[in-house]
Structure 1
Amino acid sequence: MSLQIIPPDINIDFVGKRHFFVGLSTLVNLAALILLFTVGLNYGVDFSGGSLVQLDFTRPTNGDQIRHALAPLGLGEITVQDFGKTGFEYLLRFEKVRRIKSLGADIDGALAKAYGPNVGKVVRVESVGAKVSKDLKRDAIGAVAIATIFMGVFIAWQFRRVSWSFGTGAVIALVHDVLVVICALVLSRLQFDLTTLAALLTVIGYSVHDTIIVSDRIREDAAKRRRESLASVMNRAINETLSRTILTSGTAIAVLIALLALGGPILRPSAFTLLVGFITGTYSSIYIAGPVVLFWESRVKVKPESARAA
């Protein structure tokens, strides 16, 4: 006898609760937009430009002591941030540096002079010019927009014989997922860099994957139950795929929780992005993509593929 997490005859009224969840999601998306334009993301050096240096110490220190040690180098205003083990690892950020190639060696020398030999060392140095960072930011926005549009077009084409509105629902669900992830990143103040952008694009792909599973079952059920309303067919399809949704999402989320807890500070922003994105992607496949289709097709009965082909 196989183990079943979800009973095969489960019948939760997902569609009936759509108005509440659509309203809740709308409020969250509006809050995300407000936070994005008022507070903004914590851009990494990839998008903000300047230099980033990671330091590692063998004994505890603090930001003021580090700034004092590096003052002779004339680096200007230095932002010091705890990174990893508190008091021992730090991230430094500054906007303008002249001698990029010798920056690591210069900092090592200043730390040795202030703290003594082998107490503080440079672990990594990253530098991005202002023009490059501006281009990267523009390309990042373009990548997210193009991925979202193409995903929507793909789903609309695949399910055109049932309803073209599936593509609209997929695009709106993807926009919802992106905004929720951005809201979480703004609130958490985790760094948004190229690895976080890659995680955001992965979220878009995962969200579409879950939406396709539900939409494909709706297409199958629509062909079998021609006399049922769209809402009934959709609710049945969501319930039929609920076990698969929970299993696939649950295993991925469990891995991401472990990665977030044990992956260290470098992997934390991307792991956090994936975790929030996978959760909201599963949610939007049920409560965002479906209601959009119902909105456009509320007065039209879903036609099976055989009827559309005829």
Structure 2
Amino acid sequence: MKPLHLVPDDVNIPFLKFRKIFYIVSLLMVLVSVGLFFAKGLNFGIDFRGGILIEIKTDGPADISGLRNNLGSLGLGDVSIQEFGSSDDVLIQLQRQDGDEKAQMAALATVTKALGENVTIRRSELVGPKVGGELKQAGTYSVVIALLLIMIYIWFRFEWQFAVASVVALLHDVLITVGFFVVTGVQFDLATLAAVLTVAGYSINDTVVVFDRIREYLRKFRKMDIPELLDLSINSTLSRTTMTSFTTLLALIALFAFGGEAIRGFTMALIFGIVIGTYSSICVASPLLIVLNLRRKIPEGEEAPQAGA
């Protein structure tokens, strides 16, 4: 039985020929993502903006529209109600009320009374604005520190051109994934932040595989032009890259379909991020080495071929 290959082993796609198109497409996606972020902003969850979270279990399938009308009439501001796993598990989120903790507790008591005796309150949480602000700051720091550490690692393992290209590709992935959340309006919380960092790790893994092959071929094919060598490196790892992404996506799609509301934002971020990460590893990171003027180390006395424009 022959092994499954999504891409033939002898594939020869001229990726570098279309690098200017890739640059334009990627730049447009990044600019749109950044523009929408500043214009519209993310739909932050209670983790970041503060508020009240209540998880309940109803006696039978939950009447979401009835709950929404009931709680919406209490005058407590924005109320978000959604199924949380099974049809009788419901997650209620309320905006933070004006006032101190007593005001939050009063709002919680009002909601509890309005829900009646036919529901079981499994948990309730209060998140203050100070905690939410601290979590936002910590989340930003975590992304920046992760990118810096990855850059340092790639710099030591390869050369500075590889480090810069990898970090540019990672920034590309992170910014476009954040733009995805702005466009879709999916709630952005600690779980989805973890997904963004996971996407960065997945993307750099793909990129390092291609970079390893580039470094190997720089030593092996001393007379080959750099653009041709980069194409050869990408194509020789393309089967592995697509198969890894495909099998990962199969698992994530199953989680998205059957994992419930609790992890839906997390899986959506991973699905979109893996597609973007695979694209950036192939179409952004490696072609950037041309822009960064990558050169092979040639033994003394041997003339180096010039890279294509």
TM-score by length of 2: 0.87
- Corresponding residue number in structure 2 for 1:41: 42
Shift of 1:87: 10
Instruction: Say if 1:4 and 1:303 are closer, same or farther in 2 by CA, change over 3 A.
Output: farther
Which secondary structure state, in structure 2, belongs to the residue aligned with residue 241 of structure 1? helix
User: Which residue of structure 1 aligns with residue 96 of structure 2?
Assistant: 95
Contact preservation (8 Å) 2:71, 2:79:
no
2:253 pairs with 1:252 = no
Residue 306 of structure 2 is matched in structure 1 by: none
CA displacement 1:127-161 (0-9 Å, x = unmatched): 2111111111011011101101211121122112x
What letter is aligned with 1:41? L
Q: Secondary structure at the match of 1:190?
A: coil
Q: In 2 relative to 1, CA 80–195 (structure 1 residues): closer, same or farther, beyond 3 Å?
A: closer
- State whether structure 2 residue 114 is matched by structure 1 residue 110: yes
Q: TM-score, normalised by structure 1?
A: 0.86
Match of 1:25 in 2: 26
Q: Tell me which residue corresponds to 1:303.
A: 297
SS at match of 1:43: coil
Q: Are 1:217 and 2:213 matched, yes or no?
A: yes
Structure 1: tracts of 5 or more residues without a match: none
For residues 220-245 of structure 1, what are the alpha-carbon distances to aligned partners after superposition, in whole Å with 9 as ceiling and x for unaligned? 01100011111111110101001110
Whether 2:182 is the aligned partner of 1:178: answer: no
Aligned residue in 2 for 1:140:
139
Of 56, 64, 70, 2:69 maps to 64
Once the two structures are overlaid, the 10-residue window that deviates more, 181-190 or 91-100, is 91-100
- For the aligned residue pairs, the C-alpha RMSD in angstroms reads 2.3
Instruction: Say if 2:226 is the partner of 1:226.
Output: no
Equivalenced residue count is: 291
The whole-number CA distance in structure 1 between the counterparts of 2:24 and 2:268 is: 25
Q: Give the secondary structure class of the aligned counterpart of 2:76.
A: coil
For 1:76 and 1:54, locate their aligned partners in 2 and report how far apart those are by CA, in whole Å.
17
- SS in structure 2 opposite 1:64? helix
Indicate whether 1:294 and 2:290 are aligned: yes
Asked if 2 retains the 8 angstrom alpha-carbon contact of 1:111 and 1:121, the reply is no
Report the Cα distance in structure 2 between the residues aligned to 1:67 and 1:8, rounded to whole angstroms.
Answer: 59
Separation in 2, partners of 1:26, 1:220? 30
The residue that corresponds to 2:123 in the other structure is 124
Q: Any unmatched runs of 5+ in structure 2?
A: 301-309
Which amino acid counterpart does residue 107 of structure 1 have in structure 2? V
Counterpart code for 1:238: I
Which whole-Å CA distance do the structure 1 matches of 2:121 and 2:39 have between them? 34
Measure the CA separation in 1 of the matches of 2:71 and 2:130. 29
Cα distance change on mapping 1:45 and 1:216 into 2, 3 Å = same
